[in-house]
Amino acid sequence: MARSAADDPVIGASLAQIGRARLVDLDPEQQLVSEIWGLRLRLVSSTGVAAATGDFKVAPFSDIWGGRFTANGNGDFAMTAFYQSLMTGVAWGDLFGSRFMSELKQSSDPTSLSIKFNVDGFDQTRHVGRIVGTIGPAAASEPAHFVVGRQCMGLSQGPVGYFPAIVDAGRKKLIADFGNALPTTAFRGPLDPTLNLELGIEQAGQFTSLGSVRVGPTGW
């Protein structure tokens, strides 16, 4: 696992916006699926070398919910959602000796990359928020805006939002993405490590646990 630029020079690289994009509500009466238009992204090394450039395929946010941080009541600052889409028309440049970038290019469709990011911590005064996400390989056979797997939900009595999960039969693992599903301990803060999180199946009102999930930097 790469933890520093000495392990892989992709550590310290940045994802920069080219020009200015627009956040659009095409229907002014429906403001819960805001779309991003005109977003062009470039992955740049710490020395300014461009490794990949592409266009964000227009997408609305999904699974918005207001339970991210509720200590000060509800409002936009307490909400979180995610965008999942593609970087299309990807042009590859100098991979600056990065093993990660080389393997990412080899494992993906030649002109596409998958991109997903969660948004939360919106400051209604400064009009800025937090964005945390992932760029990964994309296959031509995959859908652009959702995961082919299970769409899971928290029990009504628990503080957990919706999240996708897949079964990796080869490794006998259940892989779940909680990036947009768990509450934080502070505004734009870390996920709550005291959360008693269990994955399981609910049938006829009966919950059967498949196992517990430790939350936080020491538990993942």
The residue ranges of every structural domain in the chain are: 1-145, 147-220
Q: Which residues of the chain have pLDDT under 70?
A: 72-73, 219
Give the tens place of pLDDT for each residue, 111-150.
999 999 999 999 888 989 999 999 999 999 999 999 999 9
Q: Are 90 and 53 in contact (CB under 8 A)?
A: yes
Residues near 138 by beta carbon (within 8 Å), at least 6 away in sequence = 86, 87, 108, 109, 112, 113, 114
Q: Are 212 and 196 in contact (CB under 8 A)?
A: yes
Distance CA 212, CA 200 (A): 9
pLDDT at 132: 95
pLDDT at 131: 95
pLDDT at 26: 84
pLDDT at 120: 95
Could you list the beta-strand ranges (E) of 110-205.
113-123, 128-137, 150-152, 163-168, 173-176, 197-203
pLDDT at 175: 92
